[in-house]
Structure 1
Amino acid sequence: MTRPKHFVLAAGGTGGHMVPAAALAEELTKRGHRVALVSDARGVRFPGLFPNGENAVQTHVIPAGRFSGGPLGWLKAARQMRQGRAMAAELYRAFKPAAVIGFGGYPAYPALSAAFAAGIRTAVHEQNAVLGRVNRLVAGRVDAIATSYPDTERLKPRHAAKAHMVGNPVRESVLALRAKPYPLLEEESIFRVLVTGGSQGASILSKVVPEGLSMLPVAFRRRLQVTHQARIEDIDAAREKYASLDIAADLATYLPDLPEQLGWSHLVIARAGASTISELTAAGRPAILVPLPSATDDHQTANARAITAAGGARTIPQDRFTPSELAKQMQKLGLDPEALQNAAGRARACGSPNAASDLADLVESLDAPAAPQMVGLARPKEAFA
């Protein structure tokens, strides 16, 4: 058994960063290690990811400015980064971590910078199919780079030797869905649709989805049961729209029981964020994906390519995501239960069920005397060439 160690996880406050950090924290604490989380105010308050208890994760808020807003904004961000680095260094002196793991997002940078200065081993995990800004910035200095896709865009060739494809960890409650069959779907049975824009919601889904579902044949529309996660500014209008169209729908700004909702869904309509894709492929649920066009480096479109190419999802660019296009795609999928179940299997085949364990193996190996070497299913990126 590996001797207990201390690890620090540093992540931005969005679900895309926090969910894999929480999954790794859960795996590391199961192995007897102690874990501390460094994030911004949003991250440490993220609901449902870091429960209290005997093995609770320590949480620490550090300042981390965004380099925007011109010269004054840059100066403010630099000042906050220095403050964050000093606070992280103080944490390391007390907590004595074996390694610091960054998950992207601005709070990860001062935490990693302090680790470099202290000589602490480091790694980053990239959830998307495109290496993010902070991870690109530190890629040359970290000891290992964990990726979620065999081919990660904007990863420089000189850094490929320390890249390891582990996948994107998901919560155990989502992973448990992998062992359950796709919900029974017959021609006259209820057709359950889950609509989610990720942790920050998506206004385009609230505007288009109700209208699109209203264009379905009456017999199909009457079978629908919709669960829709909407932004707070959109939820009332979306609720009224569903009601006016006589479509059964439950709406909420946050879904604390998302794994349960995902489990009974026949089809998911969603953005193509990293956590959404990893949860769809872990559970094996077919989807209609609408990538966020303003995502940095268009990484959501890149995220959607593998599951779409495999036949587990259909991707509609936002500029073509109209009610009529959605209705057309829904009919193609929803009126053929066998094809929908086949798509579910293809989505499942894209999953990385051992991602949390493989990432934990890599993290544990950072404290070994030799350079980190992966064992088992987590392989260097070159193995996929």
Structure 2
Amino acid sequence: MTSPTRKGASRHFVLAAGGTGGHLIPAFALAAELDARGHHVALITDERGANIPGKPDYLTAHVLPAGRFGKNPLRWPGAARAVWDGRNMALRLFESFAPTAVVGFGGYPALPALLAATSAGVPSVIHEQNAVLGRVNRLLAGRVDAIATAYPAVARLKDKHRDKAHLVGNPVRAEVLALRDEDFPAFTEEGLLRVLVTGGSQGARVLSEVVPDGLAMLPPGLRQRLQITQQCRPEDLDAVRQRYADHDIPAELGTYFEDMHERLADAHLFIGRAGASTIAELTAVGRPAILIPLPIATDDHQAANTREIVQAGGGRMIRQEKFAPKELAKQIQAMAQNPASLANAAHAAWNCGRPDAASDLADLVESMGGIDTMDVIRVGEPAKAARTAPSAEPAPGAARDNAA
């Protein structure tokens, strides 16, 4: 629950994040929560982040140099100089902004801001969206005051740093969180099976190649009830449209859907990648999923992201090398063989959600300014009772008639 704004308690916070949606969506969610509490918030990012759709109008963006340390060591000196220049610029910004705390969300653009904060003695927090601590957050873990995590188990987090780790979850967009208390859409033996297929911000060619043929291998009674919404790369649209037409499966295709939260609300089953924001939204709303982790993701973090929802029974994971039409059809049949099994999976996914993530993270950030930490869960401690309610009592967001 959002803390009431405290009279005279308005403070300044700086959020620092890489320019991708995975880093910025939780940053924007925290910004909205802090703004609602009466605080002032600024953003440090790169050019992509400063211009990304969805950035709140009140959130002023500052673009600082940030070198990227890739695999070529010849480029490391230049990257180090860029980080140093960005750090110095951040220090000058802090002189005028006087932040209570700096919060990093990963990505190389966050590195200069966090280095400046630790150098200037400004309290600092990092938030890790994935189930594996990212490179920049690993560099900063020993310097910052607190580490906020999205999962109870986080790989690459050193034991000596676990005492400052807090489980808060991964904040999601407000329009997605608003769907949490809605029922799982009715799914009957004769009704439509609505499937949502996405591959991240740029789409995924493997989904375009496998999903239409996999759906075509379903038993006729199920195949004839399919209604597909699929995100594709622009260059793949025509070929995917023809595949669905050949299989006589109705499908709406697009490169980008502005109303993705509404499509998620209508979906009975999700098929796609396992990015941190995707998992957070699926569990916030409670949607069963078949997840195909990106095989080149750093430290295989997308596969790690699937662990909690799969173990709970809310999803299934297929490695890309095994992602073939026959295997996909097999997994869909297992999940959608009857309305009860799909609704139970939705309920299990819902139970993995952490709807208070933005509020809990804001509590943690506010505590850096002298206010006691409020209701923030330590990594390794039991989750709140509301999040571990017996599955015998269907939760909002799952089909009450069919949930286990």
Q: TM-score, normalised by structure 1?
A: 0.94
Please give the alpha-carbon distance, in whole angstroms, between the structure 2 residues aligned to 1:342 and 1:328: 18
Q: Does 1:51 align with 2:67?
A: no
Change (3 A) 1:374 1:81: same
CA contact (8 A) 1:150 1:384 kept: no
Which residue matches 1:29?
35
Distance between the aligned counterparts of 2:73 and 2:344, measured in 1?
54
- Structure 1 CA distance for aligned equivalents of residues 191 and 282 of structure 2: 22
AA matched with 1:138: L
Letter of the 1:269 counterpart: I
2:117 aligns with: 115
Question: Which residue pairs with 2:388 in the alignment?
Answer: none
Corresponding position: 1:359 with 2:361: yes
**Which region of structure 1 is more displaced relative to structure 2, 324-333 or 236-245?**
236-245
Q: Which residue matches 1:374?
A: 373
**Inter-CA distance 244–60: structure 2 relative to 1 (3 Å threshold):** farther
- Describe the superposition over 1:190-221 as per-residue Cα deviations: whole angstroms up to 9, x where unpaired: 21111111223222111111111121223322
SS at match of 1:348: helix
Amino acid at match of 1:12: G
How far, CA to CA, are the matches of 1:137 and 1:218 in structure 2?
Answer: 53
Q: The residue matched to 1:83 in structure 2 has which SS? A: helix
Partner deviation per Cα, 1:235-255 (whole Å, 9 max, x = no partner): 332233223322211222222
Asked if residue 383 in structure 1 is aligned to residue 386 in structure 2, the reply is no
| Number of the residue aligned with 2:393 | none
Q: Residue by residue, what CA displacement relative to the aligned partner does 1:129-168 show, whole Å, maximum 9, x if unpaired? A: 1111111100011010001111211111111111111111
Structure 2 distance, partners of 1:302, 1:141, is 25
**1:236/1:45 Cα in 2 relative to 1: closer, same or farther (>3 Å)?**
farther
RMSD of aligned Cα (Å): 1.6
Determine helix, strand or coil for the equivalent of 1:256.
coil
Query: Counterparts of 2:233 and 2:373 in 1: how far apart (Å)?
Result: 41
- Aligned positions of 1:54-133 closer than 5 A: 56-68=58-70, 70-133=72-135
Q: Please say if 1:291 is aligned against 2:290.
A: no
Aligned-partner residue type, residue 34 of structure 1? H
Matches within 5 A, 1:147-226: 147-226=149-228
Structure 1's 182 and 57: CA in aligned 2 closer, same or farther, altered over 3 A? Answer: same
Q: CA deviation at 1:177?
A: 1.0
Distance change >3 Å, CA 92–CA 235, structure 1 → 2: farther
* Residue 250 of structure 2 is aligned to residue 252 of structure 1: no
Change in Cα spacing, 1:83 to 1:318, as seen in structure 2 (3 Å) is: same
Using the TM superposition, name which of 259-268 and 187-196 deviates more: 187-196
2:24 is the counterpart of 1:10: no
| Amino acid across the alignment from 1:381 | V
Contact 2:366/2:373 (CA < 8 Å) preserved in 1?
Answer: no
**Structure 1 range deviating more: 63-72 or 170-179:** 63-72
Question: Contact 1:227/1:250 (CA < 8 Å) preserved in 2?
Answer: yes
Counterpart CA distance in 2 for 1:106 and 1:162 is: 22
Please report how far the alpha carbon of residue 63 of structure 1 lies from its aligned counterpart in structure 2 after TM superposition. 2.3
SS in 2 for 1:125: strand
Partner SS, residue 111 of structure 1 = helix
- Superposed, 1:263-278 pairs within 5 Å as 263-278=265-280
Mapped pair 1:38 → 2:44? yes
The separation in 2 between residues aligned to 1:148 and 1:163, in whole angstroms, is 10
Q: TM-score scaled to structure 2, two decimals?
A: 0.90
CA contact (8 A) 1:197 1:229 kept: yes
Partner of 1:338: 340
| Cα distance in 2, alignment partners of residues 343 and 119 from structure 1 | 47
> How far does residue 65 in structure 1 lie from its aligned partner after superposition?
2.0
Unmatched tracts of structure 1, length 5 or more: none
| Displacement after TM superposition at 1:106 (Å) | 0.7
Q: Which amino acid aligns with 1:125?
A: H
SS in 1 for 2:144: coil
Q: How many corresponding residue pairs?
A: 377
Hey, which bits of structure 1, 4+ residues long, moved more than 3 A?
Answer: none
Task: Please tell me whether the aligned partners of residues 127 and 148 of structure 1 are also in contact (alpha carbons under 8 angstroms).
Answer: yes
Please give the alpha-carbon distance, in whole angstroms, between the structure 2 residues aligned to 1:248 and 1:362. 47
